[in-house]
Structure formats: C-alpha cells, structure tokens
A and B are shown apart, each in its own frame.
Chain A
Amino acid sequence: MSVPGDRKYLQSHEWHKLDGPVVTIGITQIAADELTDVTFVALPKVGTKLSAGKSFGEIESVKATSDLISGISGEVIEVNDQLTANPALVNTDPYTAGWMVKVKPSSPDEMAALLDVTAYEKSSGH
C-alpha cells in the first residue's frame, strides 16, 4: 500500500492529517508491518495536552513495544475507542479506521515542520 500524500509524517512513522481545525494522528503501514500483529494500544484521555516530539501513548505487538510520538502540540479532543476491542485495525487499516487520536493543535505551524510523503518515504527507505 502506498503512503498517502494528504498528510505529514514523523521519521518515527506517525502520520498527521489536518482536517479544518483538527489534526488526526495514526501510524503508517510501514510501522504496522514492522511491529507485526498489534495487540494493544494505550492512548491518552480526552483533554490531555500533547507536546510536539513527546510520547502520547504506547503501542504493543507480540514482539515489541514502542512509544507513540506526536509531531504537534495541542489538546486531545477524541480518542479511537475501537482500538481497545480491535487493535488489529492498526494492521489492517492504519490510515483510516486505525487512527489513534484527534488533536486540536495549539501551534498549527508545527505541521509545516513535519515530513511530507516524499521525505518520509525516503527516510523510511521505501
């Protein structure tokens, strides 16, 4: 599956999609494949303040556990509860149903500093 061009990325494989005033964050297929079967996603509560470059949660597979990093600062306004019952959504549909948090950004400019799809693909060696 190709990496969507409609969003921004971190080298650590999180995608950030801007829709009006809201940024949705998830992880890429490349990351999901690397993790193998995702078994658990720990996400913050609604209202949590995120800082750019800092961890907002954890993702686990059978083999590994990784921090989830936010590329932007802001407040969590919605969390994908589906992932509690069905963490495999991250593997099967990482770019839509497998989203993780929606954030109201406090400094929307931070999006500009993130990687675009070309730069991300280059950084991930794909």
Chain B
Amino acid sequence: MTSPANQPAKVDFSQNVLDASDTFVDRHIGPDDLDVKLMLAELGLSSLEELVEQTVPSGIRLTENLKLGRPRGEFELLRELKGIASKNRILRSMIGMGYSDTITPPVILRNVMENPGWYTQYTPYQAEISQGRLEALLNFQTMICDLTGLPLANASMLDEATAAAEAMSMANAVTGGRRQFLVSSDCHPQTIAVVQTRAKSLGLDAKVSATSDFAFEGSDVCGVLLQYPATDGRIVDHSEVIAKAHAAGALVVMAADLLALTILKAPGELGADIAVGSAQRFGVPMGFGGPHAGFMATRTEHARKMPGRLIGVSRDVHGRPALRLTLQTREQHIRREKATSNICTAQVVLAVMAGLYACYHGPEGLKRIARRIHAMTGLLADGLKRLGHDVLNDTFFDTLRIRPTDTAADAVIGAALARGINLRRFDDQTVGITLDETTTLADAQTVLEAFAQPAPGISIASLSQAAEHFVAPEIAAPFLRTSAYLTHPVFNQYHAEHELLRYIFRLMSRDLSLCHSMIPLGSCTMKLNGTTEMIPVTWPEFGRMHPFAPPEQWKGYAELFSQLEKWLAEITGFSAVSLQPNAGSQGEYAGLLAIGAWHESRAQANRNICLIPTSAHGTNPASAVIAGFEVVAVACDEKGNVDLADLHAKAQQHAANLGALMVTYPSTHGVFESSIKDICRIVHEAGGQVYMDGANMNAQVGLCRPGDIGADVCHLNLHKTFCIPHGGGGPGVGPIGVAAHLAPFLPSRTGGQRARGLTGAQVGPVSAAPDGSAAILPISWVYIALMGASGLRRATQVAILNANYMAKRLESHYPVLFRGENGRCAHEFIVDCRSFETSADVKVEDIAKRLMDYGFHAPTMSWPVPGTLMIEPTESESRVELDRLCDALISIRNEIAQIEQGKLDRQDNPLKHAPHTAAAVTSDRWPHAYSRELAAYPAAHLRDYKFWPSVGRIDNPFGDRNLVCTCPPMTA
C-alpha cells in the first residue's frame, strides 16, 4: 500500500490532540476522507461544499453552523448520560393505569431488545426476506386473538389510548357514520383524553359518563368504550350495557388488560365487537410510557375497516406456507383521503417481544403469573381491611381502590413514597394500588406499613404469616375464564431457555437486516443505529419509570427532553418542539391540529381546506382528514415538482377557507425544489399555514431549516433522520417543531401532571403517555450530542454525496429521473424500470425480488412513481457497500439485456423466478433453463457470505383472497 491514493485519511489537526480519540462522526459516516475525495472526483467536484452549492438552492442555504456542540467521544458521552439518567429515581410503581412493571425475560432482553438482528429491519414489505418477524408477529396476533376471544387481530397499534381512538373511528365507519361514542368514566384517564382529542377533530361526539348513564336514545350511537377491569380495579358485569348497545346497533369496544384475560372471561365471549389494549406488561419495560405494542382485535366481518398492519398466511411459488402483510388496500398509503386511520409504522419490535413472552411462559405460565398477582392483591386487600381501611372494590384482578380510615390520601401516598413506593392518587380521600409480576410479599408488606403509619396503635398484620393460612381468592363465576387459549404448539414448546434462544435465532436468520447489507429504501433513511446510541435504552433508570410518576422522580428524563427539544428546535429553525407524537403519522396529526386550533383562536375555524400535492405520501391526506381538514389535491409537473400555477389557482380559489398546505422537502421525488419559498409565500398570502413533512429531513440537517424556508410546523421522523431503529416496522417517533405563534397549540399532556415547559390547553393529547415513546428518545439525544454541529452537517453532505455517486454510477444503465436544476439529486434518487416491461417482460417487482438473490433488500418500489425504484443510501454506507449495490443493480441490468437479446428466456429466467431459496437450488429437480449457480451466486461476494431467502416468491392475491391471520396448524 504505497500509492498515495491508498493512504489512510490524515488526522485532522484542527482538532486538539487532547480531544477524545473515540469520536463518533467517522464511525457513523461510511465513506472516509479519501473515499469522499474519490467520489467527489467521479462527480467532477472538488469539495462537499461545491456539491451542496449545486444541490441546495442558494436562497435557503444556511450560512452559519447550527448552535450545537462539538463532536464528542462515545465513552465520555455515555458517562455524561449515565449522570443524567441517575437523576431519575426509580421507585416501585403501583400506580397502574395500564402501565405495570414486568420482568423482561433476560433471553428476550439480550437477544431481541438489544439485538440489531431484530431492531434494524425495515417494515416487512419484501416478505420473502422478512419471514422471521412475520412469524413472530403472527404469534402476536394469535396471542391477542386467543386472549381477547376475537378472531382477527392486527400487529400492532401505537398505544392503548390511540387504539381506543381508532376503534371509535372504526365504529363510526362500520355503522355508516353515526356520530356519538359513549365512553365509560371507568376508563383510564389518558385513554379518555386521547379519545376526546380524536373525536373533536373528526367531528364526533364522545360523551363521557358512568356506564350506567349511557343513553342509547335515537340511533346516532356508533359505539361504547368500556374498561375491563375498570381503571379502579373493579370487574364489572357489562352484560346489560352490551345488550343495550347491540340492540341500538352500536359496537362494543372493550379496553382490556391482557394479563387479566388469562383468568377473566374474554371480551369476545362477553359480546365485545372490538378489544383494544396494551401488551406492555408482557415483558416490555414501562419506559416512562413507551414504546409498547398496543393491540386491536375484532370480528372477521370488520376486517376491511380495521386500521394498522395485518399479517396473513399465503403460500409461495413452491406451494409452501409463507407470510406477508395482507389486505394492504386498507392502509393509508393506498386509501389516502378515504382512509379512516393514518397509522403506518406500528410497534413491531415490541409486539415481537410480547409474543415471545407468551411463547416463553405458555398458557400455564401466564396463568401462574396472573394468579400470583391476583392472590397477592387479595392478601393485600385482606391486610388493609384488617387495618380498618375501606377497600372500595370487592371484585379485582390486580388493582384496589382504598379509602384510608382517618387519614387523607396524600398522607398515605407520602408514607408509601417514603418507603420507595408510588401509589395512585384518585382524589383527596382515595388511593389506588396496582400489583404486578415483580411485586414481592415484602413489597405488599411495605404497602401495609404505609397505610398503618398514621395510626401507630394498630399492629401491622404480618403478611408472610397471613400468607401461610391464606386461601387465594377465586374469580366469581360470571367472570371466570373457562375457555382454553394459546393452545398452538408455538406457545407450548419453547419454555426451556435453550429452546426459546434457538427459536429467536432461527427466526432472526430469516430476516434481512442492516446486519447483512444496506437497505436502500427511499424516503426511509435506513442509517446506522449506533450501538452507543442504543445502550441507554435498556438502562433501568429509563426503563422502569412509570409515565405518571411524580415529576420529582424523573428529573433525568426532564433534563434530557429539554436538551433534545432545544437541539431539535435549533436544527429545524422553530421555537418549540413537542416530543409526544409516537409515530410520524401522529406528528402529522398533532401538527395539523395545531394549525386548526390556531385558526380557531383567530375566529377562522372555517379554514379547513388542506392542499396536498399529488406526489405526497398517502399518510398526508389520511392525517389531514383525521385532523378535520378537507383535502384538495395540487398537481405536480412532469419533473415531480409542485405545479406553481395550479397551487396559485387552488390557493386563490380556496382563499377564504384555506387552512394548510402539506409539502415534503426535499420533494418525494428527491429534489430540492427551488420554488419552495414561493410555495410557502403563496399559501401564506392566501391565509394558510405550511405543514412540512419531515420524512426527508436527512437532506436538510445543517444545510437548511424548515423554519427558515417558511414552514410553520414540521414533524421529524426520529426513526429516520435521528437514528432510532426502524424495528422492522416500529417503533417510530414523530415529534413536531412549530413556529412561535403555534407553540400554544402543541398537544397537552395527560395524567394531570404539572406541565413540563410549553403546553397548550387548546389541543388535547395525541398519545397515551405525556412524552410519547420516552424510552427511545435517548437514542436521538446521543446521536445529536455525538455528532455535534459539524458532524451533522457532514452527515447530510455525505448523504447527498452517496446518492449522487450512486446515481452517477447507475445512470448509464438505468434512466435516472427527476434531478434538480444542476443535475443533482438530493439524498435519494429514482431509477426508471418501466421500459423493461416491454423490452423483456420484466417488472420492477422482478428486479426487487432478484436483488434478494444478490443479498440486498430492494429500494422503495413503485413509489412515488409506479414502475421505478427509489434509492436512498444514507451517509452511513461506505463506498465499498455503495459499489456492491451498484454492481448488483448493473449485473441485474445485464441479465435484463440478456433477456432482451434472447440469450435468456423471456419467462424462464432468474428474474422471473427470484428469489431462489436454498431448497429450490439444491433440489434434485431443477426445471429451469439457467444454471443453479446463476440463480444463487450471481455475484462474487456471495461466495464469502450468502443470505438465503427462506421462501420463494409469495402469492399475493391468494393471501388477500384467503384471509388467515393466526398461526396455522403445524401440519400445514
């Protein structure tokens, strides 16, 4: 290695020699200095600055560095974060309200939650290389169906509260537009609040009352929402209200506790039409509110009205069972403004964990956990009664509501606090206690001591003595579950740790993730999820915090949030940020609510028109409708840019009622539109607000800012630009930044806690937990802190460089569509595959499947333009990896050429039969005209390592026509 070109990059002497030597910037960014130089040379450029000048319009370019710190070292930053985390005080939580401490089985903690083989995948659209988590999600769906007693469950919802809100929309749709939704005051308060927010924007009437006061007069009730067991612990006989609701033609929605359902009669058996809830206590840490998998189950006839992603069983080309996302035409990306839900990213990795928790414990193990909690609660109730306190509920699973005798609620809560336990405060006189899997006899004893404290004359019953003679309480017959559940072998054969460990790794081996190769999905930003960023997620200081713990206990979280908010505000050029939305879709919703509420505050509630370019992602129009807007489409020109003349005309036409424009920047076609400032001006002049979709923020960070460009609100996908992993389809986090005038209209916080910083009373909460998916926010905090202003800017520059380098390498093989004025794309680009359909009978899907044989996940397929591939390499991919993908795409183009030239058969060729499984290639029967070697080893690098798709091409129509969404019998 003597030639100068091969010398390693020189140390940057602008750094102080005593600065940390483990800085992260060069770990995060794939190409080193030498690669960058060579890649720039390929493009005829001499510097990254020159590339930016040719790419980002001069009128919007940031002229100074972001006010963020210097790049930092990983070791010392983690130490600093540990210091912040240790300001969180973890007490025993007995607050309940749908969040319970749980024991994450260590085999799941280490091998799933902390394992990039499980958290770095994309959503399983390319099903042939996603069979592992599709199976894990099918287990989740089966578990939800079994426990709720309903035949169809999705995988998954964002949280219990939004699931309840989605159920309300569903009831509205199923009943043909009835507008009243009766909500029991027995529901968790955060669920009620989120349902009310959604009802308001949808123009529905959510009436909260005691269940006994539900009025079904008239025929406008679409559904009722019940909590089972009630938020104060009671197990209520709902048979009368269920009968009344059904008689009135309304749907019954039950928010249920999943663990309670192992011993309580299932909602489906009680007559519920929809069951919702959270799978958190199935092994997923509370994490100050998230992320966890919410769930929804319903009757089969409502399949097409059910929101969210649904896993179904189909078959592959060899006739073997194969899993896929089914009934996708229900989803927002296809239905657009006709969608009744905007959710897309769900909570996959958390649903996987919850499903595996059920596999590990099995039906008997889960029942044992539930019975132990129930018995412990009974023992505690006994003790409290003996101490002379009033136990208000005589039926319970894990929760008691107590009226302490001769003492106020706060005194008991204070005494418990002094002993390291958080209780729930219902009101001045009553407190709540919820027990969980982690509760010990000693914990229960401590609770008793807290209750005995103000009256020292009373002797404390010794629970351990009482326990010896204790007869466990029984669930009363009408509520006792007698039906079997989790009978499928998958829940009964992995109870030994070795068995589960191997099952976890077997499933993982069927999923292509960032552990294998780059995932070049346009608009998805599959960048590095750095290990240092991920480590804090499973620290107990972050994981074991209840979302409604008193603020004095989460000072660490508060410090982290306020720093993160400040940094995100600086990066976006906005004045305030809300971290609450727990997915990009929820960010869109919250941002549009802010715009709507602002108009309303100026007595212009009539401004309900939302302009959306036809190039927008389908989630935009879906969110707009759910936020109460009416969508008007704006045309795009042949270059994919917003048609200014049409925008102007539509803005004028609707000037009196114009509420907002939703625009993605850079555009969904991967171009920095030079007219973006004009676009914002036209909308503002007509009285509207500009909502910027931050999906493509990775092209902006450090180079330009939505706030400076003219946007009023923008959501950020922290799971794209800011390194939170995609988790194979969630979790996502979608905070919003807003300009100062919209700051009072950010979503308010649930739980009646003192507000942390800015809040708006005008807009209700959009997520169950006040800070959304708090437990994964440290990932983005670590990323920004490690990169600093200069590192973030360089990351964006290299993201743009990587895209332009690949476009350059591919342009003589595939037409590259939509570039900016100087011939540069932004951070992603589109290659056209449409002509191959006539020249070689090759569809873009064939290319996508063939890439699997080369060890790659396809780029975004047929979006935003049908018949094309959109490639986003991100800054985290090295030149070697970019070249490997380019070589694969060029090699596939050569295969197409061979078809065109007649050297390969037009039907019997490796593209049409891709992907090739090991079983097919090694079979004694090889019916194809091309060789097995060409099928499986078309590139040299595959000899070093080969990822085998586990199933052949999946039959999509078969799966949609024959809906099977639970684990099929093992003989299948």
**Which A residues contact B (CB, under 8 angstroms)?**
36-37, 39-40, 42, 60-65, 87-88
Among the listed A65, A87, A88, which residue makes an inter-chain contact with B329, where contact means beta carbons less than 8 Å apart?
Answer: A65
In angstroms, how far is the closest chain A Cβ from the Cβ of B916?
23
Contact A39 B957 (CB under 8 A): yes
Chain A neighbourhood of B957, CB < 8 A = 36-37, 39, 61-62, 88
Selected A-B contacts with CB under 8 Å, 17 pairs: A37-B957, A39-B329, A39-B957, A39-B960, A40-B960, A60-B329, A60-B960, A61-B329, A61-B957, A62-B328, A62-B956, A62-B957, A63-B329, A64-B329, A64-B334, A65-B335, A88-B961
Q: Which 10 A-B pairs have the closest CB atoms?
A: A37-B957, A39-B960, A65-B329, A62-B956, A60-B329, A39-B961, A62-B957, A39-B957, A62-B960, A65-B334
In angstroms, how far is the closest chain A Cβ from the Cβ of B306?
14
Chain A neighbourhood of B338, CB < 8 A = 65
Taking the complex as formed, is B304 at the interface, i.e. its CB lies under 8 A from any CB of chain A?
Answer: yes
State in angstroms the CA–CA spacing of A64 and B961 once bound together. 14
Among the listed B328, B334, B956, which residue makes an inter-chain contact with A37, where contact means beta carbons less than 8 Å apart?
Answer: B956
Residues 960-972 of B, flagged 1 when their CB comes within 8 A of A and 0 if not, give 1100000000000
Chain B neighbourhood of A37, CB < 8 A = 956-957
State in angstroms the CA–CA spacing of A37 and B956 once bound together. 9
Chain A neighbourhood of B956, CB < 8 A = 37, 62
CB-contacts of B119-165 with A (<8 A): none
CB-contacts of B922-967 with A (<8 A): 956-957, 960-961
Among the listed A36, A40, A63, which residue makes an inter-chain contact with B304, where contact means beta carbons less than 8 Å apart?
Answer: A40
State in angstroms the CA–CA spacing of A74 and B304 once bound together. 27
State in angstroms the CA–CA spacing of A36 and B957 once bound together. 9
Given contacts A40-B304, A42-B304, 7 further A-B contacts (CB under 8 A): A39-B957, A40-B960, A62-B957, A63-B334, A64-B329, A65-B329, A88-B961
In angstroms, how far is the closest chain B Cβ from the Cβ of A98?
15
Interface centre among A39, A61, A63, A87 (most CB of B within 10 A): A39
Contact A87 B334 (CB under 8 A): no
Q: Which residue of A lies closest to B338 (CB)?
A: A65
State in angstroms the CA–CA spacing of A88 and B957 once bound together. 9
Chain A neighbourhood of B329, CB < 8 A = 39, 60-65
Q: Which residue of A lies closest to B324 (CB)?
A: A62
Q: Which residue of B lies closest to A67 (CB)?
A: B338
Chain B neighbourhood of A87, CB < 8 A = 961
In angstroms, how far is the closest chain A Cβ from the Cβ of B230?
37
In angstroms, how far is the closest chain B Cβ from the Cβ of A119?
26
State in angstroms the CA–CA spacing of A101 and B957 once bound together. 23
In angstroms, how far is the closest chain B Cβ from the Cβ of A11?
18
Chain B contact residue count (CB 8 A cutoff):
10
Interface centre among B304, B334, B335, B957 (most CB of A within 10 A): B957
CB-contacts of B323-361 with A (<8 A): 328-329, 334-335, 338
Q: Which residue of A lies closest to B962 (CB)?
A: A39
State in angstroms the CA–CA spacing of A61 and B330 once bound together. 11
Chain B neighbourhood of A64, CB < 8 A = 329, 334
State in angstroms the CA–CA spacing of A28 and B681 once bound together. 45
In angstroms, how far is the closest chain A Cβ from the Cβ of B315?
14
Q: Which residue of A lies closest to B866 (CB)?
A: A63
Q: Which residue of A lies closest to B335 (CB)?
A: A65
Chain B neighbourhood of A62, CB < 8 A = 328-329, 956-957, 960
Q: Which residue of B lies closest to A39 (CB)?
A: B960
In angstroms, how far is the closest chain A Cβ from the Cβ of B173?
12
State in angstroms the CA–CA spacing of A40 and B958 once bound together. 11
Chain A neighbourhood of B335, CB < 8 A = 65
In angstroms, how far is the closest chain B Cβ from the Cβ of A39?
4
State in angstroms the CA–CA spacing of A76 and B329 once bound together. 26
State in angstroms the CA–CA spacing of A27 and B329 once bound together. 19
Chain B neighbourhood of A88, CB < 8 A = 957, 961
In angstroms, how far is the closest chain A Cβ from the Cβ of B626?
18
Residues 304-330 of B, flagged 1 when their CB comes within 8 A of A and 0 if not, give 100000000000000000000000110
State in angstroms the CA–CA spacing of A88 and B960 once bound together. 11
In angstroms, how far is the closest chain A Cβ from the Cβ of B956?
4
Q: Which residue of A lies closest to B956 (CB)?
A: A62
Residues 224-257 of B, flagged 1 when their CB comes within 8 A of A and 0 if not, give 0000000000000000000000000000000000
State in angstroms the CA–CA spacing of A88 and B338 once bound together. 24
In angstroms, how far is the closest chain A Cβ from the Cβ of B741?
39
Q: Which residue of B lies closest to A62 (CB)?
A: B956
Q: Which residue of B lies closest to A36 (CB)?
A: B957
State in angstroms the CA–CA spacing of A37 and B957 once bound together. 6
Chain B neighbourhood of A36, CB < 8 A = 957
State in angstroms the CA–CA spacing of A65 and B339 once bound together. 11
State in angstroms the CA–CA spacing of A114 and B742 once bound together. 50
Q: Which residue of B lies closest to A37 (CB)?
A: B957
In angstroms, how far is the closest chain B Cβ from the Cβ of A120?
23
Q: Which residue of B lies closest to A86 (CB)?
A: B961
State in angstroms the CA–CA spacing of A45 and B329 once bound together. 22
State in angstroms the CA–CA spacing of A48 and B334 once bound together. 27
Q: Which residue of A lies closest to B961 (CB)?
A: A39
State in angstroms the CA–CA spacing of A61 and B304 once bound together. 13
State in angstroms the CA–CA spacing of A60 and B961 once bound together. 10
In angstroms, how far is the closest chain B Cβ from the Cβ of A5?
29
State in angstroms the CA–CA spacing of A60 and B959 once bound together. 13
Q: Which residue of B lies closest to A58 (CB)?
A: B304
In angstroms, how far is the closest chain B Cβ from the Cβ of A52?
21
Chain A neighbourhood of B960, CB < 8 A = 39-40, 60, 62
State in angstroms the CA–CA spacing of A50 and B334 once bound together. 26
State in angstroms the CA–CA spacing of A40 and B959 once bound together. 12
CB-contacts of B445-502 with A (<8 A): none
CB-contacts of B163-194 with A (<8 A): none
Chain A neighbourhood of B961, CB < 8 A = 39-40, 87-88
State in angstroms the CA–CA spacing of A65 and B957 once bound together. 13
State in angstroms the CA–CA spacing of A88 and B961 once bound together. 9
Residues 516-554 of B, flagged 1 when their CB comes within 8 A of A and 0 if not, give 000000000000000000000000000000000000000
In angstroms, how far is the closest chain B Cβ from the Cβ of A84?
10
State in angstroms the CA–CA spacing of A26 and B571 once bound together. 54
Chain B neighbourhood of A39, CB < 8 A = 329, 957, 960-961
State in angstroms the CA–CA spacing of A40 and B573 once bound together. 47
In angstroms, how far is the closest chain A Cβ from the Cβ of B339?
10
State in angstroms the CA–CA spacing of A87 and B329 once bound together. 15
Q: Which residue of B lies closest to A59 (CB)?
A: B329
In angstroms, how far is the closest chain A Cβ from the Cβ of B925?
28
In angstroms, how far is the closest chain A Cβ from the Cβ of B465?
63
State in angstroms the CA–CA spacing of A87 and B956 once bound together. 14
Chain B neighbourhood of A40, CB < 8 A = 304, 960-961
